[in-house]
Chains A and B, each alone.
Chain A
């Protein structure tokens, strides 16, 4: 009898220990039977300014395997391999790998199966116990355009997980472009579904009737400022060229098109082909992944004469009717009559004219020491230039934007020594050569400033986020330059004449019925052929579009850059291009080598 009581008491104490003292078993039980299944939201759509879809999501399927449920010996592995279109020898190996990871937890057996393969596979799924399909979504681009703007999406890296605990291994994250900049609004909100699972990992329905479930919230759509048609047209025209095109709506700062050439099809960086293509793009000597529009430093060339003229007018060192002789002993120039006004100086892009203009700005004679005087002048000039959005980053809503370079006194002091330099040392700045450089988006912004006669709105690519517009990070205020509006008139007039009057340098940008203002430039390149530049806007009195065109190694700006810019203006303002011949010529122009049939076969051998 005593033994009965003894055993009962021992068991009673043991149960006390198991059920009350020891917490471990309660915790184990939770992870045993309850699974928190993450519900992945679909990423927000990206649309152009007219509602055209630029990026949408396509369902793909991951084939998952729970090794413990697989009937290894009975299953037809060859059939599975055929259905998946993979090498049959590898299937068992994949299974073994998954099994060594865990017998009970699911592993990915085959990533991102296409819809077609999934359709075929689905019919036979019952023959493969232990396998199931999990849907995921991938980015798709109906028009393969704007790769640099849109950016790409990839699996989070371990560093990104450490930085932000929101992400778990296998999650997707925006890696570049708008996908990265607007990651937090695009990604949406993950949901969770609490389900009970049995010992073989089979789901047995929702836990507590879904009391703890939360729905996944789809990412907010991004309404961009891009005009998909214009973007596509610009990319088309930029084929066979290297450089950049940026088009802005001047009054709002909305970017209509942003092209870096050569570009690539954004669909290449999606899904199973991503890593392979990424490697190929990284290795391409033409650097297609590099966003020249935001990151490439170029000497601006003659378009720099626009701010030079404006600063001089504002400083009062010249007036609109100031004329200078085209004295080629000061600085080289092409043959043209002497410019008798600022307007004519711009129209003919006279180098000696701007040599004199810049000299007056830098050496105003405020002090007698010429070195001291130049320091004062350059400091003042610097402030002006920065008010044009130059020499500093424009806060565009893409992360990898560069600021270009406007030299300051500190730079020359370091380079030549304090009071060891004067105007004569830095005169090449007058025509946009030397130590100055701009990135293409700053050039387009300069065109917008000219169109607005004195201010710019920071260029941006997104005008609305979702329905409530939460998370929009755009500055839409006007940034005024230090130059008064009235001084813009003669300079803008010069841009008009450059396009529409004889001896203008941008004559090839002329469009019937549209009053175009433009300025060409030739950016001297010590490493090879000169780069061609054009900035412009139209219509003159009610500007709708401002463009910058930068063509690497393409010679004089008036030859190809100006007509290319004008084609974009025509396309945007009229919806179609009437100048077929010009369009064909621009299309055919390339800096790359062609084969006998006219296909571009490679970069020039310079």
Chain B
């Protein structure tokens, strides 16, 4: 009892407060989405806000359990959980229930769960455990590659569902990888790859290849003009050119609706009733909020189903519409605080395990926020991915709660020592 009391005392209060704040705000937000002035017949557990309240209740129980339980319950069996996670991801491909084109859910009687959410937590634990093995030299690219396999495998399995959004989240582990010694060149290469990808779709191929050759030549000219550098420059040029042509080829072989989605995102097509409909409606909802918003429960766009997936992926619209730019500022500030606090705590961990894990958690939260909000304000493509603590749904809420509280527990335990 003494240790538990100590643990509770040493919990990071700011993180706890932010967590509670976000969960409560999230619930009120869902209530607002479901709220219909005409037909509210009192509180009901059958509604989304009712169910969400139950989910929150379980989440809080989970948090308490994590705080009370021995941390080794999680760390010791990390690989086991990871194994179970992979098995579940394999299973879902076979027995999963297909919901809007993806097999992401396993149904067991009245319960249904999303293995990818569980896998997220398990991967975070297992990855941190592996990376923090003292025997490893994380400076070695080979080791980095093996470490990356820990999240690339579940990522691949989730892509097969296919659920691009959930798969994307696993890229969050690049962040701890980078922290632990991955070369910045990998990130640069990744960014260049993304930039070329977009450019390949937007710019005429000859102009683009000409530009690549100029850049390659410039790089060679700036450095020592040794044979080695010239060969490297030519290789760079060839790689980039082939890559862009490959992207173009792949794009032309996508199904038309996928092409449309990408084109709309890139601004090449205006299609506010088709693929761009969601985003346009979402922008209208957020944009109509103005500085101070329309007030709680007063949103017209989000309540009347103009924005699809209102209570799940596009929940941020309600924040934007009802609370305006002021509310959004507060929202972004709160999240930024959460992320920076996580990094700060991670840095003060003595155990590498806890540090890597903390970076993993921060990376996951960041990716969710980045992709979800970016999508609703029209900066990123429409990728279905929940907004932590705000989107309706039990699986994701529980996963985020587990992720966060295991870290809080790690931190509290260290401080209690």
Contacts and interface: CB of A to CB of B under 8 A. Distances in A.
Contacts of A34: 300
Given A4-B340, A14-B379, A199-B306, A28 B37 contact: no
A33 B286 contact: no
Contact of A26 (B287, B305, B329): B287
B374 A24 contact: no
Contacts of B324: 19
B301 interface: yes
Interface string A1-13: 1011101101110
Given A29-B284, A29-B287, A20 B325 contact: yes
A33 B301 contact: yes
Most chain A CB within 10 A, of B281, B283, B369, is at B283
A64 interface: no
Contacts of B320: 15, 18-19
Contacts of B21: none
A205 interface: yes
Given A4-B339, A28-B288, A18 B377 contact: yes
Contacts of A4: 336, 339-340, 343, 362, 366
Given A8-B335, A28-B288, A29-B284, A15 B340 contact: no
A193 interface: no
Interface in B215-267: none
A204 to B, nearest CB: 6
A103 interface: yes
B328 interface: yes
B165 interface: no
A26 B300 contact: no
B304 A33 contact: yes
B377 A15 contact: yes
Contact of B373 (A11, A33, A204): A11
Contact of B300 (A10, A25, A29, A103): A29
Interface in B303-342: 303-306, 320-321, 324-325, 328-329, 332-333, 335-336, 339-340
A200 B304 CA distance: 9
A197 interface: yes
Nearest to A1: B343
Contacts of A18: 283, 286-287, 320, 377
Most chain B CB within 10 A, of A3, A4, A10, is at A4
B138 to A, nearest CB: 19
Contacts of A198: 304-306
Contacts of A204: 36-38, 303-304
Interface of B, secondary structure class, is: helix
Interface string A324-345: 0000000000000000000000
Interface string B270-296: 000100000001011111111100000
Interface of A, secondary structure class, is: helix
Nearest to A200: B305
Interface string A179-213: 00000000000000000111110001100000000
A33 B273 contact: no
B65 interface: no
B273 A32 contact: no
Interface in B368-393: 369-370, 373-374, 377, 379
Interface residues of B, number: 41
Nearest to B300: A33
Contact of B287 (A19, A196, A199, A200): A19
Contact of A8 (B286, B290, B305, B336): B336
A22 interface: yes
A32 B38 contact: no
B149 to A, nearest CB: 24
Nearest to A19: B325
B38 A7 contact: no
A19 B304 contact: no
Interface in A1-57: 1, 3-5, 7-8, 10-12, 14-16, 18-20, 22, 24-26, 28-30, 32-34
Interface in A291-310: none
Contacts of B37: 204-205
Contacts of B377: 11, 14-15, 18
B57 to A, nearest CB: 31
Contacts of A32: 281, 284, 300-301, 306
B366 A196 contact: no
A377 B360 CA distance: 116
A450 to B, nearest CB: 70
B291 A29 contact: no
B340 A29 contact: no
Contacts of A5: 336, 340
B329 to A, nearest CB: 6
B314 to A, nearest CB: 12
B387 to A, nearest CB: 12
A4 B340 CA distance: 8
B148 to A, nearest CB: 19
Contacts of B289: 19
A14 B375 CA distance: 12
B38 to A, nearest CB: 4
A22 B283 CA distance: 11
Contacts of B374: 11
A7 B333 CA distance: 12
A34 B284 CA distance: 14
A1 B366 CA distance: 10
Contact of A16 (B288, B325, B335): B325
Contact of A29 (B301, B328, B370, B373): B301
B37 to A, nearest CB: 6
B38 A205 contact: yes
Interface in B40-66: none
A197 B336 CA distance: 37
A586 B93 CA distance: 97
Contacts of B36: 204-205
Contacts of B301: 29, 32-33
Nearest to B319: A15
Most chain B CB within 10 A, of A3, A29, A199, A200, is at A29
Interface string A586-604: 0000000000000000000
A558 B253 CA distance: 96
B104 to A, nearest CB: 25
9 contacts: A4-B340, A7-B369, A15-B286, A15-B328, A15-B377, A20-B290, A30-B288, A199-B281, A200-B305
The 4 lowest CB-CB distance pairs between A and B, nearest first, are: A25-B287, A29-B288, A33-B300, A198-B304
Interface of B: 36-38, 273, 281, 283-291, 300-301, 303-306, 320-321, 324-325, 328-329, 332-333, 335-336, 339-340, 343, 362, 366, 369-370, 373-374, 377, 379
